[in-house]
Amino acid sequence: MTVEAIGCCGAYCGTCKELRAGTCKGCKFGYINGERDINKARCKMKVCCIKKNYNTCADCPDFLSCPVISDFYSKNGYKYKKYKQALEYIRDNGYASFLQIADSWKGAYGKCK
């Protein structure tokens, strides 16, 4: 898979059946090429990331202090912890290394280290 299969939040979409079938209406597809209006998106994280032309929030220099990011990761749920770990892994090791690991996952998150 490619970087486009990583959600702005760190979710790995490469395991998604809809993405593989070309019917994905998720995080990035349609917004980057202008088919969908980013101003109508409800996810603050996605809007910020795409408007700044980042692949994911891992690219943002304000990652550690961003209120949008910290609000998203403060939600209850195991997946939010794993998505944050994914972005931290990307920041430390790069996209190529992350994709090598993530391609073996069964879902949107997995073990990074």
Which residues make Cβ contacts (< 8 Å) with residue 67, sequence separation at least 6? none
Distance between CA atoms of 43 and 97, rounded to whole angstroms?
27
87 in Cβ contact with 56 (< 8 Å): yes
In-domain check, residue 52: yes
Distance between CA atoms of 96 and 80, rounded to whole angstroms?
22
**Into how many domains does the chain fold?**
1
Residue-level pLDDT at 75:
92
User: DSSP code of 6?
Assistant: B
Q: Which amino acid is present at 61?
A: P
In-domain check, residue 113: no
Which has more pLDDT, 82 or 30? 82
13 in Cβ contact with 19 (< 8 Å): yes
Domain limits at 83?
3-102
What integer is the mean pLDDT of 4-9?
91
Residue-level pLDDT at 8:
94
Q: Which two tokens stand for residue 86?
A: 């994914």
Enumerate the H helices of 52-94 as residue ranges.
67-73, 78-93
Distance between CA atoms of 14 and 4, rounded to whole angstroms?
9
In-domain check, residue 111: no
pLDDT digits (tens, 9 = 90+) for 11-52: 998 888 887 887 877 777 788 888 889 999 889 999 999 999
In-domain check, residue 112: no
What band does 4 get if pLDDT is binned at 50, 70 and 90? Answer: confident
pLDDT digits (tens, 9 = 90+) for 88-106: 999 999 999 999 999 899 8
Residue-level pLDDT at 44:
93
Residue-level pLDDT at 2:
86
3-state secondary structure of 31: coil
Is the pLDDT at 60 greater than 80? The verdict is yes
Residue-level pLDDT at 58:
97
In-domain check, residue 83: yes
